[in-house]
Amino acid sequence: MNTQLLSNLRNTGFLVASNLADDPSYFVLQVARKFKNRVPVKVLDKVLSLGKSHGVASAFSAMIRDDSIQLQTTCRLWLEESSSKRGAVFLANLCIASGEWDTASDLLEQAGSSRNAVRARARLQWGLGNMSEAITLLEKIPPNRQKRHYVSEYQVYSGTEPKLPQTRFSNVSGAGPSSVVFLATNSLPHTGSGYAQRTQSTLSALAAEGWKANACTRVNYPLNIGVFRANLSDQVGPVEYERLIPARAKYDLSARIQQQADELLAKVVRDRPQILHTTTDFSNALAVKAVSEATGIPWVYEVRGQLADTWLSTRPESAENSERYKLFREREAYVAKSADYVITLGDQMKENLISAGVEAAKIEILPNGIGDEFLNEPVDRSTARRELGLDIQAFYVGTVSSLVPYEGLDTVLRAVARLQPDNKNLKVLIVGDGTDKENLIRLATELGISQYCEFTGRVPREKAHLYHAALNLFVVPRKDSAVTRAVTPLKPVEALASRVPVLSSDLPALGELIEDGVTGYLVDSSDVDQWAKTIDGLMMSPEKVTAMGDSGRELVLKTRTWSQNAKKLDSVYRSVINKPL
């Protein structure tokens, strides 16, 4: 066994211990999600499902399957029939891990005052954003790792920053005339998200513009997502990702950001770039800010989402007044104002940054673009369907997306149900995985349309463009929230490039992507009748679908390519580098 693998295993062991100390239920849930299609997880689920419908085994099974309805039902039945304090704590922890906040609260009313009950109550308050209250609860019991981690994170949210020694260079262009160090949260090949694809496309396009992009990922990635055989670098196309894997990784947030800054400084000393670039969230930015201040190298912050609002979207409305939400927004605004330049995805996000105090003159919009597989002429719809084994004659509405509640895909299922069984040619194709998948499958069954729906789960990245091409209509029924009003997703852009019109919720960010009546339609996010009526109308107008598809492809080829973004980013970099001190 080589030295690197031994180091990886040691770090992974410490990571597991750290997560188990903080929240064992949540850790188990994350492991189950990652390995849900593996035989051991499937066998475990089968065994657990043999338990009583109101028992802890049934609840545990529901949790690892992300079946929130079954989890709620099981826990409510248990509350009616049992008075076990220990069982209440166990079930509450499952609900906290799954974001079932009200059910967890009710269970903890029955949980007593044991040490484990106190820790569970602290987890609940922490999950709801009441950071100080969670720490105060943990002060009632002997010191433990959970409290230490909470205190560390609270300190970072309250203003703690990494410290580095002054490290000035006589020449910061030793790596070439155009060199950038780019810190990403994750990357291909280990993560296939839209975030990772945007990073890969941006760096590949920068390389084509003549920049040497020295990419790296956050400290201890990808060990922290379970890839314990990780190498110290990965080559993906023209991009090499360096992995910052220390001999002993830190796991509380303040120490981890300090370690990130230390590792990044060492890389900068080696690579001597002209500029630094990182992306949301603010923990990345704090490390890059520290390196910039230590070396005098300017830095760019790329705001790819409103992560405080993403966090809020999975909490009760009351969490908008929580300590975490307030501090999260403040820290994001702070690092954006501190950066030499800010990149973001669209007009609405730019307006939000300006409202937070960032100078408009130092914000540039780099919208999501299309990669090489979408620049090429789309595969013919019939060809794509034959390759994927889909019905050649059907009218498919669907998406390629992460299946999370705010995507609102239940709206589309309800709309299709109103059009069935009179339109048996209408089918739903949902490609992707996520916490809402089981709920959507259950809903399709309840609506009586499961025979018209196909849920593929996660598909290989190299086949995603075929699923786009196979659709007649791409749907983005996002629910109305702070995050969906502001953040422009990548997948609809790829659908437009595939000559597929987009039917989406009428939200500001989506209005930046869709020209209503030309490349698709914008409809009320919660009006199921309007969704059904629009789908039905397009089914009856194949010539309209074709015209909209052609218009959509023409639009994205003109305005949303990574090469165009790279030219803008090149201009930003050079303006920052040449800015007078």
How does pLDDT run across 12-27, given as a tens digit for each residue?
Answer: 888 888 888 778 888 8
Give the whole-number percent of the chain exceeding pLDDT 70: 95
Q: Residue 223 corresponds to which tokens in the numbers above? A: 């060990």
Work out the average pLDDT over 341-359: 97
| Main-chain phi, psi angles of 299, to 5 degrees | -140, 155
**Confidence at residue 174, expressed as pLDDT on a 0 to 100 scale:** 47
For 175-201, what is the mean pLDDT?
A: 89
Sequence ranges of the chain with CATH classification 1.25.40 = 3-158
Using CA atoms, how far apart are residues 150 and 165, in angstroms rounded to an integer?
A: 27
Q: Please give the Cα distance from 504 to 208 (Å, whole number).
A: 34
Give the whole-angstrom CA distance, residue 244 versus residue 231: 10
Instruction: Report, as an integer, the average pLDDT of 209-213.
Output: 94
Residue pair 242/232 in contact (Cβ under 8 Å)? The answer is: yes
Q: How far is CA 245 from CA 12, 152, 237, 248, 394, in A?
A: 11, 21, 22, 8, 49
Q: Which residues of 475-486 are buried (b: 16+ CB within 10 A; e: fewer)?
A: bbbbbebebbbb
Lowest mean pLDDT, pick from 296-300, 344-348, 577-581: 577-581
At the top level of CATH, the class of 179-365 is alpha beta
Q: Which two tokens stand for residue 368?
A: 């999501």
Lowest mean pLDDT among 59-68, 206-215, 479-488: 59-68
Please tell me the distance from the alpha carbon of residue 250 to that of residue 255, in angstroms, as a whole number: 6
Query: Would you state the structure tokens that stand for residue 36, as one six-digit string?
Result: 């849900």
Those residues whose C-beta lies under 8 Å from the C-beta of residue 356, and which sit 6 or more positions away, are 329, 332, 333, 336, 337
- What's the rounded Cα separation, in Å, for the pair 156 and 148? 13
**Res 388 pLDDT > 50:** yes
Predicted structure pTM score: 0.93
Does 3-158 carry CATH code 1.25.40?
yes
Mean pLDDT of 524-541: 96
- Give me the mean pLDDT over the 311-336 stretch: 97
User: What does the pLDDT read at residue 375?
Assistant: 86
Residue 272, by phi and psi: left (phi above 0), alpha (psi -120 to 50) or beta? Answer: left
Could you tell me which of 306, 326, 302, 331 has the C-alpha nearest to residue 508?
306
Q: pLDDT grade, residue 82 (50/70/90)? A: confident
Nearest Cα neighbor of 265 from 282, 245, 289, 247 is: 289
Is residue 26 helix, strand or coil? helix
Q: Is the pLDDT of residue 33 over 70?
A: yes
Q: Containing H/E element for 125?
A: helix 115-127
Please list the residue range(s) of the chain that carry CATH number 3.40.50.2000.
Answer: 179-365, 372-560
pLDDT (mean) for 425-445 = 94
Say how far apart CA 239 and CA 187 lie, in whole Å.
10
**Helix, strand, or coil (residue 426):** strand
372-560 has which CATH code? 3.40.50.2000
Which residues are bridge partners to 239 per DSSP? 236
DSSP-derived pairing of the beta strands 426-431 and 453-457:
parallel
Q: Map tokens 């059910």 to a residue.
A: 103
Task: Give the count of alpha carbons within 13 A of 15, CB side only.
Answer: 25
With contact defined as beta carbons under 8 Å apart, do 473 and 351 qualify? no
- Check residue 190 and report its DSSP letter: T
Per-residue confidence (pLDDT) for residue 175, from 0 to 100:
45
d(CA 111, CA 75): 13
Task: Specify the length of the chain in residues.
Answer: 581
Region 313-329: mean pLDDT is 96
Q: What is the mean pLDDT of residues 128-140?
A: 97
Q: Return the amino acid letter for 540.
A: M
> Strand 275-279's sheet: what is its strand order?
233-236, 239-243, 212-217, 179-184, 275-279, 299-303, 341-344, 363-365
Q: Measured between alpha carbons, how far is 428 from 396 in angstroms, rounded to an integer?
A: 6
Q: Under 8 Å CB-to-CB from 533, ≥6 apart: which residues? A: none
- Secondary structure of 310-348 in the HEC alphabet? HHHCCCCHHHHHCHHHHHHHHHHHHHHHHCCEEEECCHH
Residue 170 DSSP one-character state: S
pLDDT of 92 > 50? The answer is yes
Cis peptide leading into 40, omega within 30 of 0? no
What is the per-residue pLDDT for 44? Answer: 57
Nearest alpha carbon to residue 395 among 424, 367, 370: 424
Lowest mean pLDDT among 174-183, 195-204, 380-389: 174-183
> What's the mean per-residue pLDDT of the chain?
92
Residue with tokens 């408009």: 360
What's the pLDDT tens digit per position in 260-276? 999 999 999 999 999 99
Contact in structure between 506 and 522 (CB atoms under 8 Å): yes
**CA 86 centroid distance within chain:** 34
pLDDT of residue 294: 97
* 238 neighbors 215 (Cβ within 8 angstroms): no
153: its two tokens: 């994170």
